[in-house]
Structure 1
Amino acid sequence: MSTPRAELPATAGQTSAERPWPVRLLTAKLTEYLSKAPAVWLEGQVVQLTRRPGQATCYLTLRDTDVDLSFSVTVHARTLDALPVPLADGAHVVVHAKPELFPRRGSLSLSASDLRPVGVGELLARLEHLRRVLASEGLFAESRKRPLPFLPRVVGLVCGRASAAERDVVENAQRRWPAVRFDVRNVAVQGPNAVPEVVDAVAALDAAPEVDVIVVTRGGGSLEDLLPFSNESLVRAVAACRTPVVSAIGHEVDTPLLDLVADVRASTPTDAAKRVVPDVVEELARVAQGRDRARAAVLRMLDREEHLLRGIRERSVLADPYRLLSGHADAVADLRRRSRAAVSTRLDRAADDVTHLRGRVAALSPAATLARGYAVVQTREGEVVRDPADVGDGVLLRLRLVGGDLAARAAGPWVPDALPTTTRKARSAKKAAAPAPASRKRAARSAPPAPPSPPDPTEADA
Structure 2
Amino acid sequence: MRETTAAAPAPVRAVANAITQYVDRLGTVWVEGQVAQLNRRQGMATVFLTLRDPVADLSVTVTCARATVDSLDPPLVEGAGVVIHAKPSFYATRGTFSLYAREIRMVGLGELLARIERRRQLLAAEGLFAVELKRPLPFLPGTIGLVTAPGSDAERDVVENTRRRWPAAAIRVAPARMQGHQCVVEVLDALRRLDADPAVDVIVIARGGGSVEDLLPFSDETLVRAVHQARTPVVSAIGHEADQPLLDLVADVRASTPTDAARRVVPDMAEETARVAQARDRLRAAVRRFVDREQTALTALRSRPAMADPRTLLDARADEVVQWRDRARRTLAHRLDRAEDDVRHQAARARALSPLATLQRGYAVLQDADGHVLTTVAPLAPGQAISVRVADGRVHATTTDVEPDPVPTDPPDPEEEP
- TM normalised by structure 2 equals 0.83
1:347 corresponds in structure 2 to: 336
Distance of aligned partners of 1:315 and 1:48 in 2 relative to their CA distance in 1, 3 Å threshold = same
Contact 1:215 1:246 survives alignment (8 Å): yes
**Distance in 2, Cα, partners of 1:413 & 1:72:** 178
Superposed displacement of residue 413, structure 1: 8.0
Match of 1:23 among 12, 16, 19: 12
1:220 corresponds in structure 2 to: 209
Deviates more, 1:32-41 or 1:350-359: 350-359
2:182 corresponds in structure 1 to: 193
Contact 2:38 2:48 survives alignment (8 Å): yes
CA-to-partner distance for each residue in 1:221-247, whole Å, 9 max, x for gaps? 222222222122222222222322111
**Distance in 1, Cα, partners of 2:119 & 2:275:** 44
Superposed displacement of residue 397, structure 1: 11
2:147 corresponds in structure 1 to: 158
The percent identity for this pair of structures is 55
Q: CA RMSD in A?
A: 3.5
Corresponding residue pairs, total: 399
Query: Is it true that 1:112 corresponds to 2:101 in the alignment?
Result: yes
Residue 143 of structure 1 aligns with an amino acid whose one-letter code is E
1:456 corresponds in structure 2 to: none
2:57 corresponds in structure 1 to: 68
The structure whose residues are more often helix, as a share, is: 1
Match of 1:336 among 314, 320, 325: 325
Query: Is it true that 1:138 corresponds to 2:127 in the alignment?
Result: yes
Superposed displacement of residue 266, structure 1: 0.5
2:136 corresponds in structure 1 to: 147
1:39 corresponds in structure 2 to: 28
Deviates more, 1:175-184 or 1:296-305: 296-305
Contact 2:365 2:373 survives alignment (8 Å): no
Distance of aligned partners of 1:319 and 1:86 in 2 relative to their CA distance in 1, 3 Å threshold = same
2:278 corresponds in structure 1 to: 289
Residue 252 of structure 1 aligns with an amino acid whose one-letter code is E
**Distance in 2, Cα, partners of 1:193 & 1:143:** 32
Superposed displacement of residue 39, structure 1: 0.2
Match of 1:240 among 224, 229, 232: 229
**Distance in 2, Cα, partners of 1:274 & 1:25:** 66
Superposed displacement of residue 343, structure 1: 2.8
CA-to-partner distance for each residue in 1:256-304, whole Å, 9 max, x for gaps? 1111111111111111111111111112222222222223333333444
Alignment gaps of 5+ in structure 2: 405-418
Equivalent position SS for 1:184:
strand
Contact 1:392 1:412 survives alignment (8 Å): no
Alignment gaps of 5+ in structure 1: 1-11, 417-462
Q: How does 1:371-450 map to 2 (within 5 A)?
A: 375=365, 387-389=376-378, 391=379, 414=402
1:230 corresponds in structure 2 to: 219
CA-to-partner distance for each residue in 1:117-169, whole Å, 9 max, x for gaps? 11222221221122122222322222221221111111111112222211111
Contact 1:379 1:385 survives alignment (8 Å): no
2:164 corresponds in structure 1 to: 175
Match of 1:97 among 80, 83, 86: 86
Distance of aligned partners of 1:100 and 1:333 in 2 relative to their CA distance in 1, 3 Å threshold = same
**Distance in 2, Cα, partners of 1:367 & 1:207:** 121
Superposed displacement of residue 310, structure 1: 4.5
Distance of aligned partners of 1:315 and 1:106 in 2 relative to their CA distance in 1, 3 Å threshold = same
Deviates more, 1:345-354 or 1:316-325: 316-325
Distance of aligned partners of 1:412 and 1:300 in 2 relative to their CA distance in 1, 3 Å threshold = same
Superposed displacement of residue 191, structure 1: 3.2
**Distance in 2, Cα, partners of 1:53 & 1:370:** 176
2:72 corresponds in structure 1 to: 83
Equivalent position SS for 1:271:
helix
Superposed displacement of residue 79, structure 1: 1.3
